[in-house]
């Protein structure tokens, strides 16, 4: 058996050189005579490793000094609740733009905490497009606008950052962080679970403009107060040390491979290959997202008959193509083609899809 191409939506494929280095260092990390998992987060070796990961991420994303970078636990879902608590008081309003499942989830987590409004939604069309910016109903005086630049399940992506004036823009970038350059200054907060483009699960990255923290006027338990994590270099309590270390290796891999600019070119190429094969299949495969909103990271697609789903998945697996089953909310297939998926993997998928269509069309 050999390693396959893994199209899982997350936890997702990691760059192979990173996995090799983790294996290499598993028993003895640096001069610690123990693994990275077994040493104190307060020890100098881990403090240095953590700081280096933050420096590399700041360099990769050109994060200005006015922003704190946090490496936390709890995943993006926990942050969807912690952010409303930390950005505004209970009487404040915040706007949510819904373009898929994860935006809805973020809204549900905000509702108990402040006045959360739906400023725009593309739910009526089954989340196959993005609401036109001119139709957004922003609330005057809202504390922030939340949106999901890439919806992992519905495969819908903003290819531009929406303009919301001076209101802080809060973006859940779980499934497209570092897939292309992003102008951090356009955002109040960027947050994302690591398990798609950055590393293993167990880690969520938060990039937050420092002046937005600590103004909520709430009486929060200290552990929910993000400012406490910011003041303590994300070590207010024990961080997810193994995931942080591996994310640091992924940052090194990204730097060695041309960073976000090179990822953008490669991701565009992979997306073009896959959508090209779907659109060129004479209707055998179908992607229902409006072409200008199609995600470069998550590509849902359907076969002409759901009865073909099982044989497709079984044969794909035998051909070394894993994780293609669509999310249960949509059915069908989904290929997630994050940074760590090489062009060769997408070529292998496209070849398999062409062959399967010829045999079953």
| Closer Cβ to ligand PMP, 82 or 271, answer by number | 82
Q: Which of 29, 95, 102, 296 is catalytic?
A: 102
| Closer Cβ to ligand PMP, 195 or 277, answer by number | 195
| Residue 277 in the binding site for ligand PMP (CB under 6 A) | no
Q: Which of 172, 244, 270, 296 is catalytic?
A: 172
Pairing between strand 298-301 and 333-336?
A: antiparallel
| Residue 332 in the binding site for ligand PMP (CB under 6 A) | no
| Closer Cβ to ligand PMP, 193 or 200, answer by number | 193
Among 193, 199, 248, 332, which residue interacts with ligand PMP (rule: CB under 6 A)? 193
Q: Which stretch binds ligand PMP (CB under 6 A): 52-60, 169-177, 205-213, 253-261?
A: 169-177
Q: Which stretch binds ligand PMP (CB under 6 A): 171-179, 256-264, 311-319, 346-354?
A: 171-179
| Residue 152 in the binding site for ligand PMP (CB under 6 A) | yes
Structure tokens at 320: 């070394």
- What residue is closest to ligand PMP based on CB? 75
Among 56, 95, 157, 172, which residue interacts with ligand PMP (rule: CB under 6 A)? 172
Say whether 351 is catalytic. Answer: no
| Closer Cβ to ligand PMP, 104 or 225, answer by number | 104
| Residue 330 in the binding site for ligand PMP (CB under 6 A) | no
Say whether 136 is catalytic. Answer: no
| Residue 191 in the binding site for ligand PMP (CB under 6 A) | no
| Residue 275 in the binding site for ligand PMP (CB under 6 A) | no
Site string for ligand PMP, 43-82 (x = CB under 6 A): --------------------------------xxx-----
CB of 10 to ligand PMP, least distance (A): 5
How would you write the chain as a 3-class SS string?
CCCCEECCCCCCCCCHHHHHHHHHHCCCCCCCCCCHHHCCCCCHHHHHHHHHHHHHHHHHHCCCCCEEEEEECCHHHHHHHHHHHHHCCCCCEEEEEECCHHHHHHHHHHCCCCEEEEEEECHHHCCCCCCCHHHCCCCCCCCCEEECCEECCCCEECCCCCCCCCCCEEEECCCCCCCCCCCHHHCCEEEEECCCCCCCCCCEEEEEEHHHCCCCCCCCCHHHCHHHHHHCCCCCCCCCHHHHHHHHHHHHHHHHCCHHHHHHHHHHHHHHHHHHHHHCCCCCCECCCCHHHECCCEEEEECCCHHHHHHHHHHHHHCCEECCECCCCCCCEEEECCCCCCHHHHHHHHHHHHHHHHHHC
User: CA-CA-CA-CA torsion for 284, 288, 292, 298, nearest 10 degrees?
Assistant: -90
| Closer Cβ to ligand PMP, 81 or 271, answer by number | 81
Say whether 196 is catalytic. Answer: yes
| Closer Cβ to ligand PMP, 175 or 241, answer by number | 175
CB of 304 to ligand PMP, least distance (A): 28
Give me the residues that bind ligand PMP (CB under 6 A), please. Answer: 10, 75-77, 102, 148, 152, 172, 174-175, 193
């Amino acid at each position: 058996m050999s390693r396959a191409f893994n199209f899982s939506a997350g936890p997702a494929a990691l760059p192979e050189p990173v996995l090799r280095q983790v294996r290499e260092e598993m028993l003895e990390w640096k001069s610690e005579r123990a693994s990275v998992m077994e040493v104190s987060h307060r020890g100098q070796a881990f403090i240095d490793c953590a700081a280096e990961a933050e420096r590399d991420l700041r360099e990769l994303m050109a994060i200005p000094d006015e922003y704190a970078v946090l490496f936390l636990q709890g995943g993006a879902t926990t942050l969807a609740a912690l952010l409303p608590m930390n950005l505004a008081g209970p009487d404040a309003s915040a706007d949510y733009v819904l373009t898929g499942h994860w935006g809805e989830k973020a809204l549900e987590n905000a509702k108990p905490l402040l006045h959360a409004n739906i400023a725009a939604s593309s739910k009526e069309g089954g989340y196959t497009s993005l609401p036109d910016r001119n139709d957004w109903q922003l609330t005057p005086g809202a504390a922030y606008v939340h949106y999901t630049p890439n919806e992992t399940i519905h495969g819908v992506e903003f290819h531009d950052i929406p303009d919301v004036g001076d209101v802080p823009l809060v973006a859940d970038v779980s499934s497209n962080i570092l897939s292309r350059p992003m102008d951090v200054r356009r955002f109040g907060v960027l947050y994302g679970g690591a398990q798609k483009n950055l590393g293993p699960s167990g880690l969520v990255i938060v990039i937050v403009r420092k002046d937005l923290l600590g103004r909520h006027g709430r009486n929060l338990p200290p552990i929910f107060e993000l400012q406490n994590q910011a003041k303590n270099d994300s070590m207010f309590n024990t961080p997810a040390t193994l995931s942080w270390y591996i994310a640091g290796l992924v940052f090194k891999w990204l730097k060695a491979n041309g960073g976000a600019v090179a990822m953008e070119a490669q991701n565009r190429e992979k997306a073009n290959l896959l959508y090209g094969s779907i659109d060129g299949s004479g209707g055998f495969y179908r992607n229902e997202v409006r072409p200008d909103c199609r995600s470069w990271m998550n590509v849902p697609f359907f076969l002409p008959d759901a009865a073909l789903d099982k044989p497709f998945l079984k044969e794909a697996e035998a051909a070394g193509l894993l994780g293609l089953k669509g999310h249960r909310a949509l059915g069908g297939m989904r290929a997630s083609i994050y940074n760590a998926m090489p062009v060769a993997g997408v070529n292998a998928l496209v070849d398999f899809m062409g062959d399967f269509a010829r045999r079953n069309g």
